[in-house]
Amino acid sequence: MLASIALQESTCRPWLVGGIGEQGLMQLLGPNCDGAPNGNCQDVDFNVRRGAEYLRKRIDEHNGSVLAGLGAYNGWRIGVTAGEVYNMKNEGRCWAQPNLDYMHQMLNGWLQGKEGWKMGKWFNRNDC
């Protein structure tokens, strides 16, 4: 599952910096980078370990639901609507919006050995 998240988040490029400063394979932000060796949040061992810890916390917060925890890894919350996500873009927070295709890409793509980034119907972050 961690390899699939790394594929989804960064296409397994450890040096990648995302649109709002996400770092490394697992695209970690802010406090998730605290304690990185030499301040390097892109350090592969640190980044994957911290990404795993972050996923575990999201799963625990959702009473053990792997699906809800996986969605929360991407910024989802239960009850969020597509309209709310699109409003983020309209408010100038394009890169902050969750990927509306994330769960489809993860569950029907990467976790099954397929190229998930090609799957979906929303592609809401393509024009960020």
Residue 101 belongs to some domain of the structure: yes
Residue 124 belongs to some domain of the structure: no
Residue 48 belongs to some domain of the structure: yes
- Angstrom CA distances, 111 to 2, 40, 77, 114, stand at 10, 28, 21, 7
> Which range of residues forms the domain containing residue 7?
2-118
Q: What is the pLDDT of residue 127?
A: 83
Residue 46 belongs to some domain of the structure: yes
Q: What is the pLDDT of residue 128?
A: 85
- Per-10-residue mean pLDDT of the chain, 128 residues long, equals 96 95 96 97 98 98 97 92 91 89 95 93 88
Name 38's Cβ contacts closer than 8 Å, sequence gap at least 6. none
Residue 125 belongs to some domain of the structure: no
Counted domains in the chain: 1
Contact 120, 98 (CB under 8 A): no
- Classify residue 71 as exposed, middle or buried by CB count within 10 Å of its CB (0-12, 13-18, 19+): buried
Name 31's Cβ contacts closer than 8 Å, sequence gap at least 6. none
